[in-house]
Structures are given as C-alpha cells and as structure tokens.
Structure 1
Amino acid sequence: MTALNSKIFVAGNRGMVGSAIVRQLETSGHTNIITRTRTELDLTNQQAVLEFFQTEKIDQVYLAAAKVGGIVANNTYPADFIYENLMIQCNIIHSAHLANIQQLLFLGSSCIYPKLAEQPMKESALLTGTLEETNEPYAIAKIAGIKLCESYNRQYGRDYRSVMPTNLYGAHDNFHPENSHVIPALLRRFHEAKLNNDKEVIAWGSGKPMREFLYVDDMAAASVHVMNLDKVTYDENTDPMLSHINVGTGVDCTIRELVETVAKVVGFKGQIKFDKTKPDGAPRKLMDVGRLKSLGWQYSVVLEDGLRLAYQWFVDNQNEFRS
C-alpha cells in the first residue's frame, strides 16, 4: 500500500480521468499530490518533462494525460492524435525511468483491441488483428504505451503497469458538440433539444452497435487499486498477460438503448431518429474483466445512475460549454 505522504504525480489532472484520480487519492487520504497545468508543463517537451522529474523527486506516477476525442475528432485529426499521445507517453515514461521512479500506471483504451476481436475482449487479444479504422492512430499510440511499460520492466526491472479502460464518462468530460465522445455528445444534444422544445433528435448510426460504459470515478478507484497491487501478484514474469489489465463493467448495451436512456435522464420527450449514413464504428466492444475481478475490484455505478451524475455535472457547469 502506498504511503499517504508519498509524492504522487497525476499527469492530466484537469482531464476527466486525471481529475477523478486526484479525487480518489484525496479521498483515500493522500496529502502530497503533484499536478501541473498544460501551461506550467508541456508534456510534449522532452527536456521540460525530464527537468520536472529530476527536480520534483516523484515517488509514483499516474499517466492519465492524453489527447482524446470521438469518431469525428479521430477522423479529422489523425496526425495530432498519434503524435501528441506518442510524445506524452515517451517523455513521461522515459523521464520517470531516468529519474529512478519505480512505480507508474499508464492508462490506455479499449480501442487497442482488434475491430473484430472475440467478445468479450480478453487482454490476450492485443495485436491479434486489424484495428478499427476510425481511431487507428490513437490506438497505435496507446499500444506503444503498453509496450513502453513492458519494455522498461523487462530491461530495467521497473514496475510500470497499464490499465485499459472501456468507454468512460462523467464529471469534467469533453462536451464539445463535434469533438466529444458519445455520452457527453448525447447529453448535450438532448439537453439543448429539451431547452429548444425540439420535436426530434437525430443520433448517429444505426443504433445497433453495442458498447460498454464505465463511470469515471469507478475507473479512478480501479486505477488506484491496480497501482497498489502487490508486486508478486502483478509480476509479469509470473503471468505475462498482467502487463495490462482491462477495466470495465463487463456489461454492455446497444447504442439505441444508450440513446433512449440519455433521453430519459435528460427529460427529452420528442422523437429519436437514427442517421444510418453516419459511421457505426466497431459492431461490439465489451471487455472481459475477469482478471480485474480476480484481483479484488469491480465496478459500483450502474449506467443510468452514472448518466444522472454526469448530466447533473454538465448542467451545473454548462457555462463552460458555450462553444
């Protein structure tokens, strides 16, 4: 168990996942959490990151910083997604090693798995098939992050771990009308439709694909849990597949079911139509979370309850989302 006065750096603390990890650590009694804004520390600047680690004498790192977005953003800015994520990961992981930091947790994404991977997706499915085209650059960057952690563990004996979350949502999500993920995009769209007394809302795709969603505070709790697993339990030499661990609910729903639940939570009474000319993405993305359960953790927030929490946060902070 990590000492409560250990110096912990949370990279990406202003993002949805990073801010949730900070909340989780604070709730657990940690008193020495180090954060930096983007203007204070450019994580794509190798020299700046190295100097930060050498100066601050960090004990533990949560690597939650990343450039993220939905289907539209991934299709529109593929170069940005692969470049920025590779740079952030390489700089933090390598600099942590050079600064002799032994513990690091890297947060990846379920998109690392092949588009047509057997469902539910096990950790062993990594690199067994072709990726989903719409977010391939982002996925390749995340796979590189896993392999960076594995490689520093193998060559230098580091304890760098990786967790692969399913689709996340919650407080501090990105509610941009074009560049956000499906849940924040739907919450905003239905909210504005309700305010405008619109008679219908158009959702992208056929509604048939199935997706799994995890409330971000559950993800934060899982991250801290995995970081604190005993080294012997986690040792990749004992079990190679523990080089990364799936984090999710193990439960999925159709996009149609999600859309209808969002409409219910928001209180939209109009019609819902699906634009089948828009891309669906992968037909199904469900995580096999058996490994994480065997290590003593499972989710606690069911989807409708989480959507209500996320919607309330959006309503309370909507002045930030006028664009």
Structure 2
Amino acid sequence: MKAIGFKKSLLITEANSFIAFETEIPKPEGRDLLVRIQANSVNPVDYKIRQNAAKDKILETPKIIGWDAVGIIKAVGAEVSLFKTGDAVFYAGDLTRSGSNAEYQLVDERIVGHKPKNLSIAEAAAMPLTGLTAYEAIFDRIKYNPETDKGKSVLILAGAGGVGSIAIQLAKKLTDLTVIATASREESQKWCSDLGADFVVNHHNLKDELKEIGFTEIDFILDFVDLKQYWETAAELIKPQGHIVSITGSSEPLNLNILKNKSVTFSWELMYTRSMYHTADMQRQHDILNKLANLLDDGTLKTTRTTTFTGFTVENLKKAHALQESGKSIGKNVIVF
C-alpha cells in the first residue's frame, strides 16, 4: 500500500518533510478494524508531531502520522463485535499507532463510529478529532449539568479553530450556556457568529471587550489555543468555583496557586487518553462518535470542513500542513484520497 511519512523533522517547505513509500497492508487482530481510507484531515497535533518526533535523529522507517479518517472496513479482527466488513466509519485514531496518512490503517473498534450518512467523505473527515475533543471538554471534563449550569457562561478561546468551531455548536445546541467565542479577523468573527456564538470578542483586548458585553466573570473557560498566554487572564476572569479546561499545555510550569482562593477546577483534555491507556471507558469514544454522527445527520451540527485537497499526495499533505501551521486556518482542512 501507499503511505506518506517522514524520517526527520524538517520545515514543511523542505523537499523531504514528507516522503511517499510502499509498505505492507497490515492484518487486523483482536478488536482491530482494517480500514481502507477515503479521506482524512489535518489537525495541529499532526504538524506538532512532525516537527518534534525526529528532531535529533533519522528514523529507519518513515513515521506515518494523521489522526482523522473516513473509510470503509475491509477486514476485522476475531474479537470485533461493533462493526462488520463494508461498514463506512470515521474516527480520530490512536497516538501510539500508525496514522491515517496511508491507504489502509488498523484501528481499535472502540474508538470508531459509523460515518454520518448525510455527509460526504470530506465533510465527515473534518469531524472526529475536534468533535471528540470538544464533546469531552464540555461533557466529560466540565460535566455540564442542565439543572445546575443553566444560564451560565462559557468562553471559548480560538472559536474559529477546528475544536472551537465544533465546541461553539455543541455548547449552543446541546446546553443552555451563553456562548462567547474569541476571534480577531473579520472572517473568523463571522465564522463564529454563523456557528451560533452569542457573542464574539477580540482576544487582543479580551477583558475590555468582555466587560463591554456585560461579563466581568466567566463560569467556564475552554482554552483551545495557548494556555501559557492566557493563564493569568483566565485566572482573573474565571468565577469562584468555576472550571477551566485546556487542550494546549504549556512549555513552562504554570502557577496553579492563583486558582486556589477561588476554588477553581482545572482540567486537561486530551482526546487520546482513552486509547493511549485503554481506559475502562474506552468505548465511550465509539458512543460519542455515533452521537455526533446522528447530530450531523439531523442537521443539529454542521461540518466544519472549509478547505479540501483532492489526491493523496506529498504535495497536498505539505499544503495542508503549511495552512495549519500558518495560524490563519478557519475550520478544518481535508484531503480526499
């Protein structure tokens, strides 16, 4: 099968930042599905791993990354019970295994969902990783409760990004929260408004703009952009007994003590935790993906796909990574094989 990977971490503009090569089609065992990939999408995790996985060495075998995919099941392991050969599926994969930048991929059925029937393969490929991340942030980390959280506020940092774009929709459609998103450019502000944000504020002047719309404190803050940059601001804005969730991490230790007096809860959200550690509730991702598929099929949610590259080629993968690295990407960028 054809695959695209890298042997060394290079700038995306360099000739060998990605290389195409041939490798054997893997065989499914246990609860694995063998999926013939039809489309995938690029997320920040893709370029971050490409930039760091082989900084000081040259890999003997090219590393295959990519953690969003849509495809058709071609074979199943002996213990598979949730799917059958021929099913159309979508998923965000597992950081510890070979990725979706290949014609075939093995993936555990417990982190796979049925593809939304009413979406094209490109539209569906945009949704798994960001959908799971946003859903887990709101319902598994914050643990939104309709009885006690009705009317509260949520601030979504980087509303026009991949995760922010689905978080706005989930918070607006499935909760009674007041949804505030950050965006600075005119096109990204419009994108957030069109997705349903009640308010869109410029992150360059965050506290003042929040004050202008009547918010000096926020119940829930979802960081989808840069925890270190917003840490002190988030600590100042969060209400006593509020909750901050971050997906971004920090290159430096952060002072957790500044949350103490307010008894603020802080949570990390990493969509890969369940698959990395084979947690007891690993199959919840299967359930979430199926729920997202139903919400997409009935029109409650809409795809966040904005850019489509046609053809599984080194050139298209490099273009998608360059766009993602630019920091100006809105929504999701998809490659159709």
Could you tell me the TM-score, scaled by structure 1's length? 0.34
Could you tell me the TM-score, scaled by structure 2's length? 0.33
Higher strand share: 2
